[in-house]
Structure 1
Amino acid sequence: MIKSIRPETVNIEAIKYAAIQTVDISLLRLDKIHPVISGNKWFKLKEYLKLAIEGNKKGIITFGGTWSNHIVATACATRSAGLSSIGIIRGEEPATFSQTLQDAQAFGMDLRFLNRAAFREASKAPDTFLPETNDWMVVPEGGKGESGVAGASSILDLVPDLDMYTHICCAVGTGTMLAGLTNAARPWQKLIGISSLKGEDGLTAAVSAMLKPGAARFSIFFDYHFGGYAKHPPALVDYMNQFFRQTRIPTDIVYTSKLLFGIEQLLHSGYFPENSKVLVIHSGGLQGNRSLKAGELIF
């Protein structure tokens, strides 16, 4: 359907954190699968795309912010699949579009802006705001939903020797990827989520509601958000640059940087038993780094 997606190009890289050698850390580089439909976004979209094509829909309507990885990935994926796309964007229309919105528009996405209150209502009841919904596939923000979870479950199909891992770790926004991974993991494996959200824990219940009977166990940590969703204080940017110097692996300001920082802190605290083998999912999203000023990142 989208021939430019080439999962065989994904690789798994070992990471060595300084002075921590009793735990093996491997990073699944989903950021390498496509220059635009990067990381977990492809997996959360692919089942929706399949349903849209099978249902003879005109295209996909979805939701997101001005720097949304999901918005630009949807725009690119739908165009590649021969479908149209409508993006409902959170906030008033800006005088100058972000690079993300410019890219989405270049891929043919029809961008429509709603203030935050209207955006929340439209997300809950799209039929009220969007008369086209009967002819279109509506995809929740971030690819959340049953089809998104099903697609995310296939991420682990890319992992050779999956059985050898004791822990599987990922960043958490909507919880869709964590739910998919937990459904697909072996019963003895422990799933670890690092939340990018600040506030009370609503994610644990949300993820639990998306799980199949007999799914593996999971935990979510909420201490490594650096101030909240998309917040990126200088300490986080410094960490991203430091991590790149050590590993030559780029991270993003919303998810993977906080994930890898959180994993490092858990290692230092002795959370993982000795000789654990930990698989960490790099979920892409690097395009969002373009919201930073030139020169803040060294990659």
Structure 2
Amino acid sequence: MNHQASLIQRLQLPAFTASQIHVDVMRLDQLHPIVSGNKWFKLQKHLALASPGRPILTFGGAWSNHLVATAYAAKQAGFPAIGIIRGEQPSSPSATLTDAAAYGMQLEFVSREQYGQKENPTFLQQLTHRYPGAYIIPEGGGGIPGITGSQDILQLADTTAYTHICCAIGTGTTFLGLHRASTPQQTIIGVPVLKGFDTSSLSGPRTLFLPQYHFGGYGRHPQILLDFMNDFHRDTGIPTDIVYTGKLFYAIRESIRQHLFHAHSRLLIIHSGGLQGNRSLPPRKLDF
């Protein structure tokens, strides 16, 4: 994996330069074609805690970035993998589930009601009885190991000169890791991609949330977002995804236009990968 400063890309856009704002992107999407973006960092500490030969068990939906990344990483590390999938088994599986199965992950489909118990101790105990010795990774790679792993993101390059570190928020794992690893002079900006996301557990000194850019909720992608993603790719060469990074970059652009940042602020936007989720779109919705 490439751990060099070449992962940092400068964004030269009129809205940014006119405001005298310096904006860079950390291209975690370029680290690995499958264990994409922040997934590598969240998974590495979890896998280090798992017992050799015992299964890895985790959770995800039909287009989960985390699920396919875990399936691949577990295979490479020599662990059996089990995926608890939200919803009934479809007659035609998604490309994500097809890939996860191809990497050797055993897929178990549960009702949405059952899936909602994924943090319930009784339900988790039932799973460990069914799969003895399984190491359970929370949905999205959360938990203390995921947070600890996410702290390593800011070690990929010298990030101390930035005034703001910006990321999308799904579970909040990456956000918390970035906050822990940042300097006392830096503000961590989070863009929740879920409608009504409760940021109270993430709030603290030097945190700022932009909750109005979820575009209707998790996975929602109205035409205005797709148009932005196409324009952004044409202008920068950077592909984004419909769940996380498209909304993140849109939010930062709008915030700069609305003068949220002082002149000469230096922003680092974390591109968390997840591009495989775009495969859920019909053909030709995106130009990249």
Whole-Å separation in 2 of the counterparts to 1:15 and 1:294 = 28
Alignment of 1:1-299 (within 5 A): 5-8=1-4, 11-21=7-17, 22-52=20-50, 55-56=51-52, 58-125=54-121, 126-160=124-158, 162-199=159-196, 201-202=197-198, 204-208=199-203, 217-299=206-288
C-alpha distance 285-191 of structure 1, shift in aligned 2 (>3 A): same
Structure-1-length-normalised TM-score: 0.91
Matched to 2:161, the amino acid is M
Would the alpha carbon gap of residues 9 and 38 (structure 1) be closer, same or farther in structure 2, given more than 3 Å must change? Answer: farther
Q: Which runs of 5+ in 1 are unaligned?
A: 209-214
Q: CA deviation at 1:57?
A: 5.1
Aligned counterpart, 1:211? none
1:130-172 Cα offsets, whole Å, 9 max, x none, are 4245411100000110000000011000022x22100000000
The runs of at least 4 aligned residues of structure 1 exceeding 6 Å deviation read: none
Deviations 1:100-119 (A, max 9, x none): 00000000000000011011
Structure-2 separation of matches of 1:6 and 1:78:
20
Kept after mapping to 2: 8 A contact 1:186/1:216: no
Say whether the 8 Å CA contact 1:84–1:109 is kept in structure 2: yes
CA distance in 2, matches of 1:91, 1:172: 23
Distance 1:71 1:19 in 2: 36
Gaps of at least 5 residues in structure 2 are none
Q: Indicate the percent of aligned positions where both proteins have the same amino acid.
A: 46
CA contact 1:57–1:137 (8 Å) conserved in 2: no
Alpha-carbon offset, residue 9 of structure 1: 8.2
State the SS of the aligned residue for 1:266.
helix
Q: 1:298 to 1:150 in 2, by over 3 A?
A: same
Q: Could you say what the CA RMSD is over the residues aligned between the two structures, in angstroms?
A: 1.5
Q: Report the alpha carbon displacement of residue 121 of structure 1 after superposing the two structures with TM.
A: 1.4
| Contact 1:187-1:216 at 8 Å conserved across structures | no
